[in-house]
């Protein structure tokens, strides 16, 4: 399914951050993708199921969450954090600011698991530090 990806702050992400970046609260509230219930029906994903979100920069597996705050179809929301940033591009078009909201993305149902923060760091950046 083709969607527009928004990222942003949520109060639970903010609280999770203060519990600690390695805490369960943080991962549970940040490695999620909030979606319109109708979009979820169409994707055949249940609340708490796993989805793979892909952009031209890469893909990441997160937990799908039903949201009544996303009224329009074709819009998904992932809170700020390392999971969202895996699929965002670094290019700033000469402004210093990468595009972090309104990014074109594709969402698919998946069987894969959500990586923990440590697994994510090892998988993507581990090589850089193994020397």
Partner 1 sequence: MRRPGIPVIPNVVCPLCGCCCDDLEVTVRDDRIVAVKRACALSAAKFENYSNHRNTRPLVRKNGKLVKTSLQEAIERSAKILANSSYPVLYGWSSTSCEATKVGLELAEEIGGVIDNTSTICHGPSILAVQDVGLPGSTLGQIRHRADLVIYWASNPWSAHPRHMERYTALSEGRFQRSVWRRLLLAFHAESIRKRILRAASVAFKRRAPTSPPKETGAKRGTLAVEERKTIVVDVRRTRTADVADYFLQVEPGKDYEVLQALRALIRDGELDIGEVGGVPVETLEEIADTMVDCKFGVLFFGVGLTMSRGKLRNIDAAIRLVRDLNMRTKFVIMPMRGHFNVTGADTVFTWQTGYPYAVDFSQGYPRYNPGETSVVDILQRGDSDSALVVASDPVSNFPREATRNLVKNPLIVIDPHLSATALMADVVIPSAFVGIEAEGTTYRMDHVPLPLKKIVEPPEGYLPDEEILRRMLQEVRNLKRPIAS
Q: List the one residue from 4, 54, 59, 110 that touches partner 1 (CB under 8 A).
A: 4
Nearer to partner 1, 4 or 110 (CB): 4
* Range 13-72, binding partner 1 (CB under 8 A): 14-15, 18-23, 57-58, 68-72
Tokens 């895996």 map to which residue? 86
Judged by CB under 8 A, does residue 95 bind partner 1? yes
Q: How far is the CB of 87 from partner 1 (least distance, A)?
A: 8
The gap between the terminal CA atoms of the chain, to the nearest Å, is: 40
Indicate the residue among 111 and 127 with the shorter CB distance to partner 1.
127
Q: For residue 79, count other CB atoms closer than 10 A to its CB.
A: 25
CA distances from 22 to 13, 18, 66, 108 (A): 13, 10, 24, 27
**Residue 62 parent element (H or E):** strand 58-66
Q: Name the residue nearer to partner 1 (CB basis): 1 or 75.
A: 75
Pairing of strands 58-66, 50-55: antiparallel
Owner of token pair 């940040």: 30
Interacting residues toward partner 1 by CB under 8 A: 4, 6-11, 14-15, 18-23, 57-58, 68-72, 75, 77, 80-82, 85-102, 117-118, 121, 124-125, 128-131
């Amino acid at each position: 399914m083709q969607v527009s990806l928004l990222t942003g702050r949520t109060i639970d992400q903010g609280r999770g951050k203060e519990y600690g970046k390695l805490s369960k609260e943080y991962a549970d509230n940040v490695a999620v993708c909030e979606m319109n219930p109708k979009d979820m029906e169409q994707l055949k994903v249940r609340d708490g199921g796993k989805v793979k979100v892909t952009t031209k920069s890469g893909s990441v597996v997160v937990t799908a969450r039903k949201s009544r705050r996303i009224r329009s179809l074709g819009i998904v929301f992932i809170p700020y954090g390392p999971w969202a940033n895996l699929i965002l591009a670094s290019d700033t078009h000469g402004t210093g600011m990468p595009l972090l909201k309104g990014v074109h993305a594709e969402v698919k149902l998946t069987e894969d698991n959500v990586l923990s923060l440590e697994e994510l760091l090892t998988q993507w950046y581990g090589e850089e530090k193994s020397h």
